Amino acid sequence: MTTERLPRNRTYLMCPPKHFTVEYAINPWMDTTVPVDAVLALKQWEILRDTLGDLGHRVHVLDAVPGLPDMVYAANGAFSIDGMVYGARFRYPERGAEADAHREFYAGQGWRFAGPQHVNEGEGDFAYLPAAYGGMVLAGYGFRTDPAAHAEAQEVLGRPVVSLRLVDPAFYHLDTALAALDDRNVTYYPGAFSAASQRVLAQLFPDAVIADRADAEAFGLNLVSDGRHVILNTEATAMGDKVRAAGYLPVHVDLSELKRGGGSVKCAVAELRA
């Protein structure tokens, strides 16, 4: 018998793709030769925002800044737990100023903010499970985030941080290879991680929903879940079937334009944990 999955209301931060384009390539999914449909990108983003709102969640909107085409990937700007924010420090200079915009947002909201000394890309490489082992942070490294940032985040946030090594360039952020389905369980694609990290995940999460490479390539792990509703892109049909079999309710949203920049649902949504 499948456990009943219960939703929990969340607060999110998103940034509209008003200046979104693929002007440079900093991950394997970006192709500067294929133009972005800006009108469609904004429409798809609005549907995602409205979907979250219709499910009962609150969505804050961060103003887009000209010259920062990747700001739509709002998950990368910071990572928060219990009103404490660990800021981002981007690997590539093209995205560096995004961190400033996020810091200003949190300052305006009265959050406690810690500026990072080490390179990290916010929720792109950090995931929080508040009911797993008393509250655990999973943290990815290998492509974008410096492993030293994991220790820094642990000191800032006061939660144990488990480092996981990413080994496949196609899955350059943790949020392309793993997602929290609720407060204690995850789904992940084992092949994105080193053999040792696979063993760690198997030990910590014996009941995880295991994805395959096709799911990951469809950005099916780049999802947002409230504990019951799992919002994922329309391409990830097989992943939708897997989470449904585990007792969750998949909600598909078309984000084909955002995939051109190497992101999908989760990349566009940061969770604000007051």
Dihedral angle sign, alpha carbons of residues 144, 149, 154, 156: negative
Q: Which of 186, 193, 265, 187 is closest to 232 using CA atoms?
A: 265
173 flagged as catalytic: yes
User: Which residues, 6 or more positions from 81, have their beta carbon under 8 angstroms from its beta carbon?
Assistant: 128, 135, 137, 157, 158, 159, 273
Q: Which of 57, 102, 150, 173 is catalytic?
A: 173
Cβ neighbour number for residue 273 with a 10 Å cutoff: 16
Q: Which of 57, 150, 229, 267 is catalytic?
A: 267
252 flagged as catalytic: no
**φ, ψ for residue 179, nearest 5 deg:** -145, 145
Q: What Å distances lie between residue 226 and 79, 80, 210, CA to CA?
A: 17, 16, 19
Q: Which residues are identified as catalytic?
A: 173, 267
